[in-house]
Amino acid sequence: NVENVSFAYEEDNQTLENVSLTVARGEFVGLVGPSGSGKSTIASLLARLYDPDEGAITADGTDIRDFPVRAWRERVALVRQSPYLFDDTLRANVAMDRDLSETGLREVASLARVTEFLSDLPSGFDTRLGDDGVKLSGGQRQRVALARALVSDPDLLVLDEATSDLDPRLDEVIHRGLRDLDADLAVVTIA
Ligand code: ADP
Ligand code: MG
Q: Is the CB of 39 under 6 A from ligand 1?
A: yes
Indicate whether 127 pLDDT > 90. Answer: yes
Indicate whether 131 pLDDT > 90. Answer: no
Indicate whether 144 pLDDT > 90. Answer: yes
**pLDDT tens, position by position, 21-71:** 999 999 999 999 999 999 999 999 999 999 999 999 999 999 999 999 999
pLDDT bucket at 133, cuts 50 / 70 / 90: confident
Q: What's the whole-model pTM score?
A: 0.95
Tell me how far apart the 2 most distant CA atoms of the chain are, in Å. 53
Indicate whether 103 pLDDT > 90. Answer: yes
Q: Is the CB of 37 under 6 A from ligand 1?
A: yes
Q: How many CA atoms lie within 13 A of 36 on its CB side?
A: 2
Residue of 41, 51, 102 whose CA lies nearest to 72: 51
Atom 22 in ligand 1: which residue has the minimum CA distance? 9
Indicate whether 92 pLDDT > 90. Answer: yes
Q: What pLDDT sits at residue 130?
A: 86
Q: What pLDDT sits at residue 48?
A: 96
Q: What pLDDT sits at residue 147?
A: 98
| Pocket test residue of 41, 42, 79 for ligand 1, highest count of atoms within 8 A of CB | 41
> Over the chain, what HEC string results?
CEEEEEEEEECCEEEEEEEEECCCCCCEEEECCCCCCCHHHHHHHHCCCCCCCEEEEEECCEEHHHCCHHHHHHHEEEECCCCCCCCCEHHHHHHCCCCCCHHHHHHHHHHCCCHHHHCCCCCHHHCEECCCCECCCHHHHHHHHHHHHHHCCCCEEEEECCCCCCCHHHHHHHHHHHHHHCCCCEEEEEC
- CA separation for the pair 169, 61 (Å, rounded): 37
Q: Which ligand 1 atom sits nearest the alpha carbon of residue 33?
A: 3
Ligand 1 centroid, distance to 57 Cα (angstroms)? 19
